[in-house]
Amino acid sequence: MTTIAVAGKGGTGKTTIASLAVRYLIGKGEGPVLVVDADPNSNMGQTLGIEVPITVGSMREQGFAGDRDIPGGMTKDQFVEYKMQEALAEGEGFDLLTMGRPEGAGCYCFANNLIRRFMDELAADYRHVIMDNEAGLEHLSRRTTRTTDVLLVVSDAGMRGLTAAARVLELADEMKLDVGRRMFVLNRATPETAAALQPEIERLELPLVATLPEDPGLFEVEVAGRSLLDLPGGSPFVSAAASLFDMIFAAQ
Ligand SMILES: Nc1ncnc2c1ncn2[C@@H]1O[C@H](COP(=O)(O)OP(=O)(O)O)[C@@H](O)[C@H]1O
Ligand SMILES: [Mg+2]
């Protein structure tokens, strides 16, 4: 089983790349995949084309605040597990767990506590786990998740994205996250922009493993409100992403 966490500045392509990784794995017969949408600004339900019943964060508002809400005959753990199952959106070849919005003041205490306690059990039912994170790595804190095999940091072809990527990698070190490999991906780059950014990528010591081009097809799929699972294959972007995933999953 491979656990991949995608991180980086907002708008750089994390959710897109995470969604394509799901599609890649399903296409290779490597399902079922557990997808964890841990970025309150993302919507993997949309990119994967499924309805999200409830988010983990909203479970508290759904009348699940304390022990008194637990039905008779159930232990607290059994009840929480039951609720977590309820929050899983089922797709073909994957299930999606959506963390949802923070509980005020950026606190994910409740959702994180649940994930901390039940993630390992939940993940055991899947072949791979793909987690779409916010830049702060909030959900990746050492206690929340199991080993992350690959921390995939994404940037667009811009200086702010690169700086944010370097910061994410620093943060992962500071938090002493249990990470197997760190990988950096430059998204929406042309050979020219990639070459121009090369010195900065080296200066920041970003572990560049792939450069992905702009894909006009992404915009079309998005405006049409379709899922990224329907993105036509064969574009240079989809091919480059597939080579990246070949490398990631072959090495596991
Ligand atoms: N290689 C690409 N070519 C064209 N558009 C892209 C590419 N990567 C991402 N996008 C677009 O950029 C926007 C932000 O991407 P998204 O994956 O949501 O970023 P993030 O999850 O990092 O915030 C989306 O509209 C997406 O379709
Ligand atoms: Mg996103």
Q: pLDDT of 132-146, one tens digit each? A: 987 667 666 644 545
What whole-number percentage of the chain has pLDDT above 90? 59
Amino acid 61: pLDDT: 60
Q: Which ligand is nearest to the CA of 16?
A: 1
* Probe target for ligand 1 pocket from 6, 12, 16, with the most ligand atoms within 8 Å of CB: 16
Alpha helix stretches (DSSP H) within the chain: 14-27, 44-47, 76-87, 109-123, 159-174, 191-203, 216-223, 236-250
Domains of the chain: 2-250 (3.40.50.300)
DSSP 183-195: EEEEES--HHHHH
Amino acid in the structure at residue 229: L
Q: Tens digits of per-residue pLDDT, 12-51? A: 999 999 999 999 999 999 999 999 998 877 789 999 999 9
Task: Tell me if the bond preceding 102 is cis, omega within 30° of 0.
Answer: no
Q: Is residue 60 scored above 70 in pLDDT?
A: no
Q: Which ligand is nearest to the CA of 237?
A: 1
Amino acid 141: pLDDT: 61
Amino acid 64: pLDDT: 59
Q: Is residue 65 scored above 90 in pLDDT?
A: no
Amino acid 184: pLDDT: 98
Tell which residue, 129, 139, 126, has the closest CA to residue 57.
Answer: 139
Confidence of residue 121 (pLDDT cuts 50, 70, 90): confident
Q: What's the burial of 66, exposed, middle or buried (CB within 10 Å: 0-12/13-18/19+)?
A: exposed
Amino acid 63: pLDDT: 54
- Cα 42 to middle of ligand 2, angstroms: 4
Amino acid 67: pLDDT: 59
Bridge partners (DSSP) listed for residue 208: 184
Q: Kindly compute the dihedral angle of the four CA atoms of residues 141, 147, 150, 154, in this order, to the nearest 10 degrees.
A: -10
Phi-psi region of 89 (alpha: psi -120 to 50; beta: other; left: phi over 0): beta
Q: Which ligand 1 atom sits nearest the alpha carbon of residue 154?
A: 22
